[in-house]
Amino acid sequence: MPSQIDTLLRLVSDNPQHVLTHLASHPEIASTADFSGYTLAHAAASYSQLDLLRTLVRTYNVNVNILDSDGETPLFAAETLATAKCLVEELGADVNVRSQEGVSAAENARENEEDGSGWAEVAAYLEEKSGANGGVSLSDVLNTDDTDMHAPPPLPPNVKINMGTMQEAPLEGEEGPDPEIRRRIEELAAREDFQTEQGQKELHDLIAQVVGGMSEENGREVRRRIEEP
């Protein structure tokens, strides 16, 4: 017998109103995933059911960057330009999330353009959007996203958060990376409530500290873990 989420996923393409009616009585299922991590938001994006997609994010607080088991957000499933624009411009989807295979939504769309539909338009649109904000996002730090379900403001151009070099020795005349911030991020990522609203809020607060730029410590400036090429 199919599970509740399996049944609702099958209804997204032809009967999204039934899904909305069911959610009104069972809001807790809005972010539920099937065995492969596929959610109603992914299905709504795939079938271009924009009213359902908007309701899931705005009414039921579904993370617009929710990941399936392959590390793909609903934006990866967008086959039409209208869906991509809705996700990015209305709902704040992060165009720079990369899947477990290291592929972005734009690259995924480009790979699928031979299948027809609107993949080519989606690819061109997402490529433009990716270039506009310098390719920097919270997902580049811990493959996650903002708590309030909207993408954070972009960092200044040419600025990257580089968690991969946090163990490197500091350059002469510089302070080393802040071990306390790193410890807190790693502890948060290991917690069971990491994917909850509270866990994501705490993550966002920590990331805000990392990208805050220059801070004062002991009466002088300390360089944060931000690189300016």
Q: pLDDT tens digits for 184-222?
A: 777 777 777 766 667 677 777 767 666 554 334 433 333
Question: Where do the H-state alpha helices sit in 4-73?
Answer: 4-11, 16-25, 40-46, 50-58
* Lowest-confidence pick of 24-28, 107-111, 156-160, 224-228: 224-228
- pTM (predicted TM-score): 0.58
Backbone angles phi, psi at 222, to 5 degrees: -125, 130
99 near 68, Cβ under 8 Å?
Answer: no
What is the structure's pLDDT at 165? 41
- Kindly list the domain boundaries of the chain, sorted by start residue: 1-133, 155-229
- Chain centre distance of CA 85: 15
126 near 84, Cβ under 8 Å?
Answer: yes
Integer CA distances (angstroms), 4 to 1, 8, 54, in order: 9, 6, 21
Mean residue pLDDT of the chain comes to 76
Tally the residues of the chain. 229
pLDDT tens by residue, 60-94? 999 999 999 999 999 999 999 999 999 999 999 99
Per the structure block, which two tokens stand in for 138?
């919270």
pLDDT tens by residue, 27-64? 999 999 999 999 999 999 999 999 999 999 999 999 99
What is the structure's pLDDT at 187? 76
- Chain centre distance of CA 37: 14
What is the structure's pLDDT at 43? 97
Q: DSSP assignment, residue 29?
A: G
pLDDT tens by residue, 99-152? 999 999 999 999 998 877 789 999 999 999 987 444 434 444 344 444 443 444
Going by pLDDT thresholds of 50, 70 and 90, the confidence category of residue 157 is very low
- CA dist 192 and 83 (Å) reads 32
20: left (phi over 0), alpha (psi -120 to 50) or beta: alpha
155 near 134, Cβ under 8 Å?
Answer: yes
Selected residue with higher pLDDT from 2 and 139: 2
In this structure, which topology does domain 1-133 adopt according to CATH? 1.25.40
3-state SS assignment for residue 204: helix
- CA dist 41 and 31 (Å) reads 8
What is the structure's pLDDT at 224? 34
